């Protein structure tokens, strides 16, 4: 079973690709595959960021909803 790739691992991979590309260390025969791998890594990183943002937004919304409900229930208890 393949281990899920972490954001940190993917970022390190991307940094390695970019470092090699910037230093001109990628032979022309491997340039296409290296750029393709870097592009796939960028896609993964973007998706991971979007997913994390969505999760955090949901968590914060739940907290706000709970706070709003507690405030509403607190106000109803006071008026009774």
- Is residue 76 over pLDDT 80? no
pLDDT at 68 (0 to 100): 74
On the question of pLDDT at 71 being above 90, the answer is: no
Distance CA 34, CA 26 (A): 8
pLDDT at 77 over 60: no
Look up the pTM and report it: 0.74
pLDDT tens for each residue of 15-57: 999 999 999 999 999 999 999 999 999 999 999 999 999 999 9
CB 14 within 8 A of CB 37: no
Q: How far is CA 28 from the centre of its chain?
A: 31
């Amino acid at each position: 079973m393949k281990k899920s790739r972490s954001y940190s691992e993917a970022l390190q991979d991307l940094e390695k690709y970019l470092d090699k590309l910037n230093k001109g260390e990628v032979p022309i025969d491997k340039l296409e595959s290296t750029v393709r791998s870097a592009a796939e890594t960028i896609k993964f990183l973007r998706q991971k960021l979007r997913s994390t943002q969505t999760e955090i937004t949901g968590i914060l919304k739940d907290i706000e909803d709970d706070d709003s409900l507690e405030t509403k229930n607190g106000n109803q208890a006071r008026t009774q």
